[in-house]
Structure 1
Amino acid sequence: MDTRTGLPVVGMVGGGQLARMTHQAAISLGQSLRVLAESPDDSAALVIGDVRIGSHTDLAALREFAKDCDAVTFDHEHVPTEHIAALEGEGVRIYPGSAALLFAQDKGRMRARLAELGAPVPRWRPVNDTADIAAFAAETGWPVIAKATRGGYDGKGVWVLSSPDEAQRLVDTGTPLIVEEKVPLRRELAALVARSPFGQVAAYPVVETVQRDGICVEVLAPAPGLSDERAVAAQQLAIDLAHALGVVGLLAVELFETDTGIVVNELAMRPHNSGHWSIEGARTSQFEQHLRAVLDYPMGSTALTAPAVVMANVLGGASGGMSIDERLHHLFAADPGARVHFYGKQVRPGRKIGHVTVLGDDMTEVRARAARAARWLQEGK
C-alpha cells in the first residue's frame, strides 16, 4: 500500500510499452505502478516515477523489487518460472502465477495442456531431431511450421520449413522446437479476457488481427463478418482456458479461423497488442482491466465505444526526411480524430514505435483512415 495515497502499489516486471500504457491506466485509478526495467531508457522507465533497474532473470533483484507491492505482474513472459515460484513461496501475490504462466512460456507445454483440455489446436509434435520433422511432414505434407519452444515473439522463433534440408539446418542450431501443421486459415483472430482471483471474468469483442512479416499491423474491432455463433464460441473458449489454466489478469488467445471453425495459435498472459484498441475503443481498456484483475477488483465494462474501431501499429521507417514531431502536426491537421500513442522508443526500420486508433461507424472508412495515419507517421508521406 502506498502510504501517501492509501491505494495499492502494483509491481510490473518489464519496462516496455505495455508497462508504459498500464501506468496511464494506474494514474486514473490512483494506484502506484512500480516497474522493474533493464535500462533507464526503457519505454516505461521514461515516464514512471518508481522505476527499479535490474534484470528479470535475477532472483535477488525480483525479490527486492516485490517488497511492499500489493501485487506483482508482468509486461512479458520471460521471467524464469522457478523465480516466480520462489516468490510465490515467500508470500508474494504474483499474477499470473508460475503454474499458469508456464503455458504461455513453453509452447510444448501449452500444446500438450490444450490438447488435454480438448481445445482446438493444430496437429503438432515435439522435436528431438530432423527425423521427427520429416515423419511429421510425411503425415501433414510440406511445408510445416517449426516454433522455438521458448522466447519467440513478433515472428521471431517461427520458421516455415519446406524440405528436410531446411529442417536439418534449423535443428543444427540447437534450438528446442516443436513442429506444427500449416493451418489453412482464412484469417487470424484474437479473443481477450480478464480473470480475477475471485474468478470473475470479462470478455472483449473478438477482433481480427492482420499480420505482415510476422508483425501485427492492424487490429479490427469487432472482427468484420464474424458470425455471432463463432464469436461467442471464441469468447467462451478464452473464458474456459482462463479458468482451466488458473490465469489471473489478461489472457489473449490468438486464433486461426478456418473454413470449419477456430484453432488456437498462441496464448499470452498479459496486456496484448491485439487489445491496444481498447484504450479509446472500449469502456474499460485492457490495461485498466488487467490492474483490476490482479487487485481482485470487480471487472469493468468491455462494451465498444463505437461501431468500428481500428488500431494500426506504427513501425519505424527509413532515417531522414520529416521529423516525427512534424509528421504528428500534419496528421492531426488532416485527421483530428486519430488518436496516437508513441512508446518513447528509438526509431529503427520495422520496429514498433507506437500505434494509432481510429473510431467511427463504417469499418472500411475507419480502416482506411487508420492505415493512412500509420503510413504517414512511418514514412512522412
Structure 2
Amino acid sequence: MTFPVVGMVGGGQLARMTHEAGIPLGIRFKLLSDSSRDSAALVAGEVVVGDHRDLDTLRAFAKGCDVITFDHEHVPTEHLRALEADGIAVRPGPDALVHAQDKALMRARLTALGVPCPRHRVVEDPADVRRFAETEAGGFPVVLKTARGGYDGKGVWVVGSAEEAERVTAPFLAGVPVLAEEKVDFVRELAANVVRSPHGQAVAYPVVESVQVDGVCDTVIAPAPGLPAATAVAAQELALTIARELEVTGHLAVELFETADGRVLVNELAMRPHNSGHWTQDGAVTSQFANHVRAVLDLPLGDPRPRAPWTVMANVLGGDFPDMYPAYLHCMARDPGLKIHMYGKDVKPGRKVGHVTTYGDDLADVRERARHAADYLRGIIDE
C-alpha cells in the first residue's frame, strides 16, 4: 500500500501539530519552510527550505505530493492557481483561500451571502476614514485593517477621532487596500470551528469563547460558558454555510463577536487549523488537526464531540524566563491531568511558544489549572 504525501506550505506550529496528527495514519509529510529552525521543520522528516512566494520553488516542492495544504494564508493567489493548472490538488483552493487572504474581499462576499458583519468600507485616505465614521459607522472609534497581511493584532489600528485618523498614514502609504469597520460594542469573542471535505461532508465543533489580551488569543474555553443553545447552533450553522458557499476544504475558523442583544457578527476567517481550536487536541474525540488531515485527503471525518464537559486552552507566551523545561517538574507534579504542548521555538517576549490544556467537570477548577500552568511556565508565578 502506498500512503499519500501531504505537502505542507509553512513551517510554524500549526504545521508541526498537523504533522503530528498524521503520524498515526502513516501519512507522509513534506514541508516547505522558510527556515530549517522553524517549529515544524524541527520534527518533519522531509523539509525543503524555500520561499513560498516563488512559483518555481512551489512547483518543485509540489512534485511528489498528493495534495498541498497550508499553515498560513500568505502564498500568492496567482501561484496557487498556477499549481491547480499544473494538476496539483490544492486544499483549500485559491478561490476559497483568497477570502482569508483579503479582508476586503471577504467582507464583500459575506455581505452578498447575507452573513452578519460589522459595517465596513474600503477607504482611500484618512479623510475617507472620517467620512466613513461620520456617515456609516455611527461615529468614532473605527477600526482600520490592512486588507492583506495582518494577523494577531498586526496591521490593525483603532482610531478614536478624526485627528487620530489623520495620524494613521502608514497603511495608506503601504500601497495595500485599507478596510474601515465600525468598532463593535461586543460582550465577548467567540469562534466556530468546522471542517469540510471535498465531497461535502462537514463537522462542527462546539462554539468556544476566545479571550484576547493585547490583540493575541490568551485563553479559549470550550464550550463558551452561558451561550444559549440556539445561539450556539446558529453560529455553527453560520460557519457551515460559509464553508459550503466558499467551497472550503479543510478546517475553517470563523471568529465572531457576540453583542449585548445576543447577535453574532463575523470578525475574521481562517482556512487552516486555528488557535481557537487547539483545545481539541486533548478535549475532543478527533482534533482539528486530525480532521484537517482527513479533509484534505478526502477521508471520512472524525467525531468532533468533546471528551469532557469543559476544556480550557491557555497560550504560553514568552517572557523574561527563557528556560521553561525545569518548570515541567512543578506543573506536572501539581496537575497530572495537565497537557503541555510546546512548539520548539526560541523564547522571546510576547511570542507564542506553546499552550496548555486542561479538562474536567468544574469550569472554575479547569480554568484555574490552565491559567496556573501557563503563568508558571512563563515565570509570572513561582508557586
Sort the TM-score into its range (normalised by shorter chain).
Answer: over 0.9
Structure 2 residue 80 is the aligned partner of structure 1 residue 79: no
Alignment of 1:340-351 (within 5 A): 340-351=340-351
Partner of 2:19 in structure 1?
A: 23
How much does 1:319 deviate?
A: 4.2
Give the alignment partner of residue 159 of structure 1, picking from 157, 160, 167.
157
The match for 1:258 is 259
Tell me the equivalent position of 1:109: 105
Amino acid corresponding to residue 263 of structure 1 in structure 2 = L
Instruction: Please tell me the residue identity of whatever aligns with 2:278.
Output: H
CA distance in 2, matches of 1:69, 1:45: 17
Equivalences for 1:268-287 in 2 at 5 Å? 268-287=270-289
Residues 289-346 of structure 1 show CA distances to partners (whole Å, capped at 9, x for unaligned) of 00100111111000101110000000001146xx311111111111111100000000
- Paired-residue identity, %: 58
Take 2:301 and 2:270, find their aligned partners in 1: how far apart are those partners?
Answer: 19
In structure 1, give the amino acid aligned to 2:298.
D
Partner Cα distance (2:189, 2:281) in 1? 21
Query: How many equivalent pairs are there?
Result: 375
Moved more, 142-151 or 168-177: 168-177
2:46 equivalent among 42, 46, 50: 50
Structure-2 separation of matches of 1:99 and 1:69: 21
> In the alignment, does 2:92 pair up with 1:96?
yes
State whether residues 120 and 180 of structure 2, in contact with CA within 8 Å, keep that contact through their aligned partners in structure 1. yes
Secondary structure of the equivalent of 1:68? coil
Aligned-partner Cα distance in 2 for 1:203–1:95: 19
Q: Which of residues 311, 314, 324 is equivalent to 2:313?
A: 311
Q: TM-score, normalised by structure 1?
A: 0.97
- The runs of at least 4 aligned residues of structure 1 exceeding 4 Å deviation read none
1:339 aligns with 2:339: yes
SS at match of 2:353: strand
In the superposition, the TM-score normalised over structure 2's length comes to 0.96
Q: CA deviation at 1:172?
A: 4.7
Note the residue ranges of structure 2 that are not aligned, 5 or more in a row: none
Alpha-carbon distance in 2 for matches of 1:352, 1:172 = 26
Other-structure match for 1:211: 212
CA distance in 1, matches of 2:252, 2:92: 9
Distance between the aligned counterparts of 2:15 and 2:59, measured in 1? 19
Give 2:222's aligned residue: 221
CA distance in 2 between counterparts of 1:189 and 1:270 reads 17
Deviation at 1:8, TM superposition (A): 0.8
> For the residues of structure 1 that align with 2:170 and 2:63, how far apart are their CA atoms?
43
- The correspondence of residues 50-199 of structure 1 with structure 2, limited to 5 A, is 50-139=46-135, 140-173=138-171, 174-175=173-174, 176-199=177-200
Match for 1:10: what amino acid?
V
Q: 1:325 is paired with a residue of what secondary structure? A: coil
**Contact 2:220–2:314, Cα closer than 8 Å, also in 1:** yes
**Whole-Å Cα distance in 2 between the matches of residues 299 and 331 of structure 1?**
34
Code of the residue aligned with 1:203 in structure 2: it is A
- Structure 1 residue 357 corresponds to structure 2 residue 354: no
Determine if contact 2:321/2:378 at 8 Å carries over to the other structure. Answer: no
